[in-house]
Every structure is written in structure tokens, then in C-alpha cells.
Amino acid sequence: MRDLSRDVSFLSINTATLKTLTLRQAVETLSRHGIRAIAPSRDRLAECGVPEAARILADHGMTVTGLCRGGMFSAGDGASDDNRRAVEEAAAIGAQCLVLVVGGLAAGSRDIAGARRIVRDGIAALLPHARQAGVKLAVEPLHPMYAADRACVNTLAQANDLCDALGPGLGIAVDVYHTWWDPCLKAEIARAGTHKGRILAFHICDWLVPTRDLLLDRGMMGDGIIDIRCIRGWVEAAGYRGHCEVEIFSAENWWKREADDVLRICVERYQGRC
Amino acid sequence: MRDLSRDVSFLSINTATLKTLTLRQAVETLSRHGIRAIAPSRDRLAECGVPEAARILADHGMTVTGLCRGGMFSAGDGASDDNRRAVEEAAAIGAQCLVLVVGGLAAGSRDIAGARRIVRDGIAALLPHARQAGVKLAVEPLHPMYAADRACVNTLAQANDLCDALGPGLGIAVDVYHTWWDPCLKAEIARAGTHKGRILAFHICDWLVPTRDLLLDRGMMGDGIIDIRCIRGWVEAAGYRGHCEVEIFSAENWWKREADDVLRICVERYQGRC
């Protein structure tokens, strides 16, 4: 396993962790902390425009570990156009992948199997465009508590099955928050590892006990019960050599703190607890 | 599939659904609605004492579809004695099974695989006592959002594996709330069905969108997005002929309503939406 304790070479920060900052503010703050990798959300790009965002990122030498997000394939006809735009934005900022939060049940539907077919077909339809643009698509299995309304891909096994079925250009974002509970996690990470480059991103934060909100109560690494280092070991054994991307949604805690404090603690925990 | 629309022969109510009632009040209210099956929690028994509880249930001709609950094997040394008492209570009231909520991580632990070993060993140690008492143990896979603090058995596959490993006397409680999202649900219900009597209970309620609380925001059947009838079809195709047990934790809605209203709507939804 890589030794992360000495620097921040493989640390990336998702802009969701620094909720209140614009892209420029986020990039400048990260730079002050020596952090050279970021994963922006599309709304941060939209605020300044994609060309300006690309300039800001390039001027600061930022590695873009992912663009958040495409997907929502069950949302209806608009999804297709929006996903093509997301691919173009990912290409414009040189993102290592476009993260796909695939969507849950269609409005009024109780057909989870049907939703999963819609997702498979939606990714299949988007893939040629992504390949042409040179953008990798990273399907992100989300925790089963989001199966109804955010993502009906809930296990790494499902994500591996999609990659097997749909071929090159599709990979996986492994997020410890969404997957730590899965009894098949180790085996499915190893399965992903048999395909070079399939694991496109590794997201970290922590599961708090108790968790007070389904969406906005994620913890800082070390504050919860996920054995992050263990999972990182599995991911690295599977060949992953990319960044650890910190993605913390935390309305009542981390989003209320100063960005400099959040980053200082991110670095400390990344080096000591991951 | 059985036709449930004509009566309430296969309807059971978990006392958690009628949060504010004593056991006697719950039994009398159910009887007024023609409902002849109940699943009490142990605290309802403790309030009146187990012998009195057994008399109340017998006097009203109640089928006891389960006793909630034993388990919590990772809670430390006390768990073993308490689980033996739970078995004795289940025997005393003639419960069709003792439901096991197996427990999550041990205090201070991040070792989910280790927790699962503790659970397996705990069930193995309890089984001889349960067999001797003539009490079936029903392991209940809980939703992965409870993996840390309530149950590290989170899929029907895990429950089937436990049953395969530990042998007669152990079965499964299938709860649609905990399992509806699982891509392997249909296959694992069918797998359970290859062992006669393995499915010991079938619990129903609904998953609301949005869900506002991890614990206490379950929905009435028909108010959410679970295709309950589909899952009941799978369970019956697997040979299950027992009751549908309504278990609704709902601090802000159903627990605030009159028990008669709750039961009237339970019956209506059971007959029309399940």
C-alpha cells in the first residue's frame, strides 16, 4: 500500500466538501494548502462558465479527478441532452472521469428492475459520445438508502456487471460511504481489478453513528466507523493508483466551518487515518 | 398467489405499529377489527409479565407471528443470557418465531467482517437452546443503513448463508422495507424457498420518498415505492403461506393517529395494495 502520510500528492477535494466556495475560491484555497487535485460539481462550473472554469483549473495546475455529475437516466427525455453536455464539460476541464449518479425510480414507478434497465440503456446510449470525447464514465454505486430517488445501482457487483456488459469507456467510482457495508465489497473490488483502469475514482468520508440525516450527515474520515484504510488496501491491491477524493456532505458540521479549518483537518485525517 | 382482498385471515400487526397501546389494549383493538394475529415486542410483554401476556393472547385466540426481538450479539456478554430469556418468552407465548435483529459493530470497532463472525457464532450458540424450546429463530436482514448500529446482516444472501451454515431451527424474516432495493432479492427468496419452512415471517410497510428519518419514517403500504405485491408473489412462489405482518415505525404520522384509524387503513391497504 502507498504511504500517504508524508504529503498530499494523492489527495483530492470534491467541491461539495467546501460547499460555500466558488470554483476560484476553492482552487485558491486548495492551492494554499498544497492540494493539487479537485473534483468540481457542475453547478460550480456553471457559475463562472466552463471556459473560465477550465482556465482557473489549468492556471493552478489542478488535476481534475472527476466531474460531478451526469446520470439521472430515469428522469425522462431531458437526461440525454444534459448528459451529453456533461461529457463535453468533463472534456473541457480535462476531468479524469464523469461521475454518473444513475438515478432512481421513474416518477410514479415502483419498478426497480425496470429502472435498472433504463439506466443500462441510458449509459449504453451515452457511451459512444463519451468515447468520442475521450471522457471516461464512472458509474458510482450509491448506498441502498438512495435506491428510490438517486441511484438504483447500489452495489459494486451491479457496477461491475454494467461494465462487463457495456464495454470500454465505462468504469467505476468506489465511495467508501456507499459501499462499506457490502459483504461482497472485497471480492467485487478484486473483480474490478481484473480489468485494467476500471476503478476510476476512490471517494472517502466516514459513516457516523448515529447518522442524523440520510443526505447531509457524512463524517470526516476517522470520525465514523468505516475502515477506510482497509478498503483503500483492497482498491490498491486491485491496481488503483489514483487520488483519494474527499466528498463530505455535512449541513450541520463541516459546511458551517471555515474552509481552511476543514482542509487542515482533511489533510491530517488523510495522512493519519486513511 | 393468494387473494388477500376478501378478509384479514393472513394479516398480522406488529405492536410497534400501535406504539402507544399496552398488549391488552392492542389485542382488544385488533379483535374489534377481526384481526387474529399479532407480533408483540418484548417490552410489551415486560409491562404485564409474560404469563399474563400469554393469557391475554390465548384468551383472544391470537396467532403470534413472531416475538420481537432477540439478537444484538455484538453487544457483549449480556446478550447471551438475554437471548435465552427471549427464547423462553417466545415459547411461553407460542410465537411462530423469535425475530433476530443481530446487532452491528461492537463498541469502538470498525471491523464489519468481525461483527459478522460474532453474529454467526452467537446464533450458533443460541440455536441448541431454541431447538430444545421448540422456538424457531428468524434472522432478519436489516437495511444497510443499519449495518453499523443495528444489524450487520443486510442481505437475504447473508441470511441464507447463515441458515445453510447453521442448520435446522434457523430461518429468515423477510421485510420488504429492508430488502426491496436488493438486486438479488428475487433469486435469494427462491433460494430460501428450496428449504421448506425457511421463510418464517413476511413483514410489510412502505419506503417513503423522501424518507425523513433513518429509523422512524416508515410508510403505510401503498404510500411509498415498494412493489409489495411483487415481493409477496416471490415469497409465496417460494412456498410461504404465513401472515403478512405490518410493522410501521412512524413517529410523525402513524404513531400520532388513533389506533382504530391506523387499523382501518392497514386492512384497506392489506386487501387492496399488497
Which residue reads 442524523 in cell numbers? A212
CB contact under 8 A, A181 and B147: yes
d(CA A42, CA A29): 19
pLDDT at A67: 98
Q: Between B111, B112, B211, which is nearest A181 by CB?
A: B112
Which cell goes with B176?
420488504
pLDDT at B57: 98
Which cell goes with B84?
435465552
pLDDT at A32: 97
In this prediction, residues A69-91 reach a mean pLDDT of 92
pLDDT in tens, chain B (274 residues): 999 999 999 999 999 999 999 999 999 999 999 999 999 999 999 999 999 999 999 999 999 999 999 999 998 877 899 999 999 999 999 999 999 999 999 999 999 999 999 999 999 999 999 999 999 999 999 999 999 999 999 999 999 999 999 999 999 999 999 999 999 999 999 999 999 999 999 999 999 999 999 999 999 999 999 999 999 999 999 999 999 999 999 999 999 999 999 999 999 999 999 9
Q: Which residues of A touch B145 (CB under 8 A)?
A: 143-145, 211, 214
Determine contact, residues A221/A176, Cβ cutoff 8 Å: no
Residues of chain A with pLDDT > 70, as a percent, come to 100
Apex A68 CA angle, A62 and A74, nearest 5: 160
Say if strands B63-64 and B67-71 run parallel, antiparallel, or are unpaired.
unpaired
| Statement: residue A168 has pLDDT above 80 | yes
Q: Between A148, A209, A212, which is nearest B207 by CB?
A: A148
d(CA A170, CA A137): 5
| Statement: residue A23 has pLDDT above 80 | yes
Q: Which residues of B touch A111 (CB under 8 A)?
A: 227
Q: Pick the residue from chain B with its C-alpha nearest to A116.
A: B183
From B108's Cα to the closest Cα of chain A, the distance in A is 8
Q: Would you place residue A211 in the very low, low, confident or very high pLDDT band (cuts 50, 70, 90)? A: very high
Question: Which of A117, A145, A178 best tests the B interface by mutation, with the highest count of B CBs <10 A?
Answer: A145
pLDDT at A198: 98
In this prediction, residues A9-27 reach a mean pLDDT of 97
CB contact under 8 A, A147 and B181: yes
Q: Would you place residue A239 in the very low, low, confident or very high pLDDT band (cuts 50, 70, 90)? A: very high
Q: Between B109, B154, B230, which is nearest A181 by CB?
A: B154
Q: Which residues of A touch B182 (CB under 8 A)?
A: 144
The count of other CB atoms within 10 Å of the CB of residue A151 is 27
Taking an 8 Å Cβ-Cβ cutoff, which residues of chain A contact chain B?
105, 109-112, 116, 143-145, 147-149, 152, 154-155, 157-158, 180-183, 207, 209-212, 214, 224-227, 230
From B225's Cα to the closest Cα of chain A, the distance in A is 5
Dihedral, B202, B205, B207, B211 alpha carbons, nearest 10 = -130
Q: Which residues of A touch B143 (CB under 8 A)?
A: 144-145
pLDDT at B233: 98
Question: Which of A212, A225, A274 best tests the B interface by mutation, with the highest count of B CBs <10 A?
Answer: A225
Q: Which residues of A touch B149 (CB under 8 A)?
A: 209-210
Q: Pick the residue from chain B with its C-alpha nearest to A106.
A: B225
**Ramachandran assignment for B165, one of left (phi > 0), alpha (psi -120 to 50 degrees), beta (any other):** alpha
Determine contact, residues B231/B185, Cβ cutoff 8 Å: yes
Q: Which residues of B touch A227 (CB under 8 A)?
A: 110-112
Q: Which residues of B touch A152 (CB under 8 A)?
A: 181
d(CA A98, CA A64): 10
d(CA B29, CA B18): 10
Which cell goes with B96?
411462530
CB contact under 8 A, A214 and B209: no
CB pairs under 8 A between A and B: 77
Which residue reads 486491485 in cell numbers? A238
From A170's Cα to the closest Cα of chain B, the distance in A is 20
d(CA B234, CA B270): 17
d(CA A76, CA B274): 28
d(CA B174, CA B155): 10
What counts of helices (H) and strands (E) characterise chain B? 10, 9
Q: Which residues of A touch B111 (CB under 8 A)?
A: 227
d(CA A63, CA A10): 10
The whole model's pTM is what? 0.97
From A169's Cα to the closest Cα of chain B, the distance in A is 24
Q: State the amino acid at position A116 in one-letter form.
A: R
User: What is the average pLDDT value for chain A, to the nearest integer?
Assistant: 97
Which region among A65-79, A230-244, B209-223 has the lowest average model confidence (pLDDT)? A65-79
Q: Pick the residue from chain A with its C-alpha nearest to B214.
A: A214
